[in-house]
Amino acid sequence: MFELVYELLLMLGGIALIVIGLAIREQGTGSRILNLVVGLGFFGYGFYLMFLAPVGTRYTVFYYAFILPVLLIVRAVKARKEAKEAQAAAGHQHVVPGQVYPASPGQYGPPQGQPGHPTN
């Protein structure tokens, strides 16, 4: 039973890394390739253990192998978040050099027409 869970987790982790490598374009090319290669490795090894390995094959379970997919997924999500934040910051600061922008009401003092401020 434990072997089945281990094999399924290997395959699911591999699929997750492949999907993230293909879907999240905000990360660098090297990170995307790393996600794909590690994802294919995890999926391939899990597939081998589940379907191709001879019955009764003994193998060593590496628990720390599941740290790598978690770190790669966190890294990809972080890259996507940073790209969105940078895009939002760039959107707020979109100023065309040399263009004259109208002043908003009240920017250069109190609005005209109020008591004590005659209108001309």
Residues 53/29, Cβ–Cβ less than 8 Å: no
Tens-digit pLDDT profile for residues 53-69: 998 888 888 888 889 99
Residue 45: CB atoms within 10 A of its CB come to 17
Please indicate whether residue 119 or residue 86 has the higher confidence score (pLDDT).
86
Angle between helices 29-47 and 2-23 (to 10 degrees): 150
pTM: 0.69
The confidence band for 102, taking pLDDT boundaries of 50, 70 and 90, is low
Please indicate whether residue 89 or residue 95 has the higher confidence score (pLDDT).
89
The type of residue at 55 is V
Q: By C-alpha distance, which of 62, 74, 60 is closest to 20? A: 74
Tens-digit pLDDT profile for residues 103-117: 555 555 555 555 665
Share of the chain above pLDDT 70, in %: 76
Residue 44 predicted with pLDDT over 60: yes
Q: By C-alpha distance, which of 113, 4, 15, 117 is closest to 73? A: 15
